[in-house]
Amino acid sequence: MKTTIEIIDPTTEEQATFKLHQLSPTIEKVISILNEEEHFLIGEAENALYKILFSDILYIEVVDKRSFIYTEKQVYQSNDKLYQLEEKLMHFDFIRISKSMLLNIEAIQAIAPLLSGRFEARLINEEKVAISRKYVPELKKGLGMER
């Protein structure tokens, strides 16, 4: 696709125009990223609320019906349900890897199979999380291996 970038005056409002034959999932993803002004979640840790950038999140896990957001340095609690978080993050390289976990694809270092039949993802902080067998197609789709 031909792309044109024009640097404009700081006082003029920024805008993006697409000339397309049809909308593709990639373009929809780009549009959703452009429309979303702030890419962060709100999480609580040590009785304080924090903005957590999507890119800082390694994974999100539900334990005892409470959602926890894991970053490299800190674990935050969220008031949102997992499906609500999934809806917010679906266009930002997050995928479901089990009933109780969302994983940031960008945080994966490598995948390995386990004898139990599950897969295991080694993350950039060397932590390991289990991927349920039935979510492997979703992982491949998220990586762009399957359309």
Partner 1 sequence: MKIINYLKEAFRLTSLIFTTLVMLNLVLQTDALTHSLGYMLLIAAISGSLHFLIEDHEKYSGQRILLNHGIYLLIVCLQITLANYLLHWELGFGGLLLNYVIVVLIYLFIRFIMYNNDLKEADKINQFIQKRKQG
Query: Which residues contact partner 1 by CB under 8 A?
Result: 98-100, 108-119, 130, 132-134, 136, 139-140, 143-145
Q: How far is the CB of 1 from partner 1 (least distance, A)?
A: 17
Q: Which of 58, 143, 130 is nearest to 99 (CA)?
A: 130
CA distance 93 to 91: 6
Q: How far is the CB of 86 from partner 1 (least distance, A)?
A: 16
Pick 41 or 107: Cβ nearer partner 1: 107
Pick 39 or 133: Cβ nearer partner 1: 133
Query: What's the number of CA atoms in the CB half-sphere (13 Å) around residue 138?
Result: 19
Pick 41 or 57: Cβ nearer partner 1: 57
Cβ pair 74, 87 in contact under 8 A: no
